[in-house]
Amino acid sequence: MATKLALERYLDRLRLRSKLSTAECDAVRGLNGSIVTVAANQDFVRIGDTIDHACLIVDGLAARFAQIRNGNRGTVAFHIPGDMADLHSVVAPNVTWALHAATATTVLQIPHTELIAVAERHPAIAFAFWRDCVVDANVLAQWSVNVGRKDAAARVAHILCEMQVRYSVIGLADGSRFPFPITQTDLADALGLTPVHLNRVLKRFKDERIVTKDLGSIVVLNHAKLAAIGEFDSAYLELARNPAPKS
C-alpha cells in the first residue's frame, strides 16, 4: 500500500509538469518496486556504485552529495517525499553523487528495467521523465547561484523558502510551519557555510522574528522578509499547476 501511495504522489508530481493520458497515468501506477527503510545518517546510494534502480522517497529526508578531498561532503540537493531522488540514474547508472538519509527515511526502489519499459512504451512518459530531470537541474542551477554569489543570510533564507514551497506542494506544510528534520551541521554543509556561522545567522533570524528552526521543523514568522532576504522567486521550481501540453 505504501508503494501505491508513493507512486500516486509521484504521479501527481509528474502531472504538475506534464500532461499524461489515463493510460499513461495507469502505466505509472503500475510500476513495481520494493520498499526499503534507511536509518538516520546512513548512505543508501554510494559513489562508484553502478545501480539498477531509482529511489522514490516515500517518507523522510534525503541529501544528495559529492565527496570532496578532505573527507567533507558537499550537499547539492535535498529530496523530500514524492521526489524521485535519482531518476537520472536510469540513463546514467554510474553513481557520481551519493544519497544519504538525513533522518529515518523510507524509499521505494524502482528497477531501471521497469522505468525504461514504461518510457519506451509511452513516449509521453519518456518526455515527462526527461522533463523531471531538467527541472531538477534547474533547481541545481539556482542552488549554484545561491552558494556562489549570495551572502550567508541570503543563502539560508533562500533554502528555507524553497523547502517551504516544496513541502507545501506535497501537503506537508501546516500553515507557516513545515517539517525539515535536519541538523544545523548538515544544513550548513549544503549552504557552504560553517555550522558556527549558520548558527549565528539563524540566531539573527530568530531575534528579528523572521524564522525559527528546531531539530524537526521550521516556522516562518515573516515570509515577506525571508523571501526578500533570500531574493526568492519560486518560478524555477516549476511547481505551479501548468503542465506542458506538448508530448
Partner DNA sequence: CGCATACTTGAAATAGTTCAAAAGACGTGG
Partner DNA sequence: CCACGTCTTTTGAACTATTTCAAGTATGCG
Chain contacts with DNA (rule: CB under 7 A)? 151-153, 183-185, 192-197, 199-200, 202-203, 214-215
Ramachandran category for residue 51: left, alpha or beta (phi over 0 → left; psi -120 to 50 → alpha)? beta
Smaller CB separation from DNA, 52 or 151:
151
Which of its own copies, DNA, none interacts with 196 (beta carbon under 5 to 8 A by kind)? DNA
The correct pick among 16, 36, 140, 170 for binding its own copies (CB under 8 A) is 140
Which of DNA, its own copies, none interacts with 151 (beta carbon under 5 to 8 A by kind)? DNA
Ramachandran category for residue 41: left, alpha or beta (phi over 0 → left; psi -120 to 50 → alpha)? left
DSSP secondary structure, 96-161, as one string: SSEEEESSSEEEEEEEHHHHHHHHHH-HHHHHHHHHHHHHHHHHHHHHHHHHHHS-HHHHHHHHHH
Using the contact rule CB under 8 A, the part of the chain among 65-73, 178-186, 196-204, 208-216 near its own copies is 65-73
Smaller CB separation from DNA, 121 or 149:
149
Work out whether 23 is an interface residue with its own copies (CB under 8 A).
Answer: no
Smaller CB separation from its own copies, 43 or 231:
231
Work out whether 184 is an interface residue with its own copies (CB under 8 A).
Answer: no
Residue 1 contacts residue 106 (beta carbons within 8 Å): no
Closest to 141 (Cα-Cα) out of 58, 242, 237: 237
For its own copies (CB under 8 A), the number of binding residues is 48
Work out whether 16 is an interface residue with its own copies (CB under 8 A).
Answer: no
CB of 189 to its own copies, least distance (A): 8
Which of its own copies, DNA, none interacts with 126 (beta carbon under 5 to 8 A by kind)? its own copies
Which of DNA, its own copies, none interacts with 3 (beta carbon under 5 to 8 A by kind)? none
Extended strands (E) in the chain: 34-38, 43-45, 53-59, 62-67, 73-79, 98-101, 105-111, 177-179, 211-213, 217-220
Smaller CB separation from DNA, 3 or 67:
67
Q: How far apart are CA 195 and CA 185, in angstroms?
A: 5
Using the contact rule CB under 8 A, the part of the chain among 4-12, 29-37, 126-134, 175-183 near its own copies is 126-134
Which of its own copies, DNA, none interacts with 34 (beta carbon under 5 to 8 A by kind)? none
Closest to 105 (Cα-Cα) out of 214, 2, 187, 237: 2
Q: How far apart are CA 192 and CA 187, in angstroms?
A: 9
